Structure 1
Amino acid sequence: MMGDYYGVGVGFKPEHFQSIIETQPDLGFFEVHAENYMGDGGAPHRMLGALREKFQLSIHGVGLSLGTMGELDQHHLHRLKTVVDRYQPALVSEHLAWSSHDEAKNLVFLNDLLPIPYTQETLDRVVEHVDQTQTTLGRQILVENPSTYVAFTDTQMSEIEFITQMQKRTGCGLILDVNNVYISANNQKMDAYAYLDAFPTHAVGEIHLAGHAEDVDDDGQPLLIDAHDRQVAPDVWSLYRHVIQNTGETTTLIEWDNDVPDWPTLYKEALAAKNLMAGIGASTHAAQ
């Protein structure tokens, strides 16, 4: 298993700050989105600075657009470096997706993390962008597997093949988002367990768990959406158990970014992950 173990964490929300400081929860780290802390000061930085004194941090970017076929936005990359240098987080990560487009040299930022075609051309470009990011930051980053809804017709390799080659060529770490695996498997009629068994887990530095919404597509078929707005589904917990049984203790994040609950509800989800992991560890130890 790659990297250090930082326990279980949750995404930090400012409305939870006072409860966190007062109760000192038994958590390993808090994740924040880098783009929310690219300003110079103010209340966000005061809270995050106080949090950093007591907990490890994970900086998760959502706007770097590693999958763009254009150039990385250097201004955005260096703003990310400023945040990383300031807080010295345990983990830094980004998505295997694109969210910006260069229209006649005027960079347009989109509100969604969009999928990429799994082609050699795209792989070469993503590798270039990951290398550039790691060089600029002076450290390894983790890259997260996406949730997908449709497949590209010009796909030349599987998602697993793409991620494996990207990791080998760049030396980056990986985030295994188990909820994303469940969403993609259901939307594209794949075997989630087979996907997990083929994933390069030796490079996984963090696992993500989140809730998803159920919808239907234009043909009336079930469609799962990566909503991050509710508790982790039972089937996703089962997939997580399968992963941990194979990998052992792995840094794990509970993501809940929309319809954010009160602190006790979010903390309860984190404790569920801690207890599941501890239970697997205890049973493994007893069997030896």
Structure 2
Amino acid sequence: MANVDLSTKPPVGVGLRHPHYEAALSRAADIDFVEVHTENFFGEGGASLAVLEQAREHYELSFHCTALGLGSAAGISTQAVTRLAQLVARFNPMLVSDHLCFCWVQQGDTRIHAGDLLPLPRNAEALAVLTDNIDRVQQAIGRPLVVENISTYIDQGGHQWSEPEFLHRLVERAGCQLLVDINNLLVNAHNAGLSAAEDYARAWLDAIPQDAVAEIHLAGYTPVAPGQLAVDDHAAPVSDQAWRIYAHALQRLGNVPTLVEWDNDLPDWSVLLAEATRARDIQRALQAEEA
């Protein structure tokens, strides 16, 4: 176990979704930041940007992209990169992130978006595409991009490296940072039929480049029986299993910012805030142990 500093008070935030706008914006809650999906705010002016203006009166902002398709050999949208850069310049968010995936393909003269976050082969060709696309985004926004590990439902093969090894190479070549999604690790372990999901997640966390991790995501998924496909639906509380892995992640990575996501079957705002409070309680318990 690496020696890390757990004495600081890291930011804890939640994903801000439309049903919670009134509760979140009417008065400040006991959280440090909110995360928004940037594509929902690409329009010129209007009510959506007013929401961001209101939100930053109470909280720091974190921008999470869902459709750049950083691993797309067909390239990424110039319009999307431009709008993202404009948003970043205007609101100066604490983090800007997207996913380690592809979603754009080229068919003849037509570019098609897959509508999902599709996994990449972990090989030299994919690494080169990712590096070029990430560099393009970073040049536009003037800061490192934070890249998230994704949930996968099939393994198409073609890998030269394990996922942690691939992340090491990506950080070195692209100069980006990492977003660790713990729920995605558990979804992947389930779909791979692994009986020791926690052991898998702990080993994965121990193998990634520690100093590159800029954020942790926590979420829950709808439980399914062994052998059935688990979907990263963000429709449930963070599981006890995920909380235990989160404690290990803090010990390994230090007190990096933590976000609780909940996107489907949304609970009351107070329930989401209680999840954020639990994350903070785990941080404090580890700080007390270290002291």
Same-fold call, TM cutoff 0.5? yes
Matched with 1:175 is 179
Q: Give 2:216's aligned amino acid.
A: I
SS of the residue 1:20 aligns to: helix
Deviates more, 1:149-158 or 1:91-100: 149-158
Matched with 1:257 is 263
Q: Deviation digits for residues 56-80 of structure 1, max 9, x if unmatched?
A: 1000000100011112211111111
Q: Which residues in structure 2 correspond to 1:69-148 (within 5 Å)? A: 69-148=73-152
Matched with 1:57 is 61
Report the CA distance between 1:279 and its aligned residue.
Answer: 1.1
Question: What is the TM-score normalised by the length of structure 1?
Answer: 0.92
SS of the residue 1:68 aligns to: coil
**Structure 1 unpaired stretches of 5+:** none
Matched with 1:154 is 158
Matched with 2:238 is 232
Question: What is the TM-score normalised by the length of structure 2?
Answer: 0.91
Matched with 1:211 is 220
Aligned residues: 281
- Contact 1:6 1:29 (8 Å CA) reproduced: no
Q: Give 2:48's aligned amino acid.
A: P
Does 1:26 pair with 2:35?
no
SS of the residue 1:32 aligns to: strand
List structure 1 runs of 4+ shifted beyond 4 angstroms.
none
> RMSD between aligned alpha carbons?
1.8
CA distance in 1, matches of 2:19, 2:187: 29
Distance 1:129 1:5, change over 3 A: farther
CA distance in 2, matches of 1:280, 1:196: 17
Report the CA distance between 1:5 and its aligned residue.
Answer: 7.0
Q: 1:38 aligns with which of 35, 42, 55?
A: 42
Q: Give 1:193's aligned amino acid.
A: R
> What's the % identity of the aligned pairs?
37
Q: Deviation digits for residues 188-242 of structure 1, max 9, x if unmatched?
A: 22722211111212111100000112346xxx71432111011011111111011
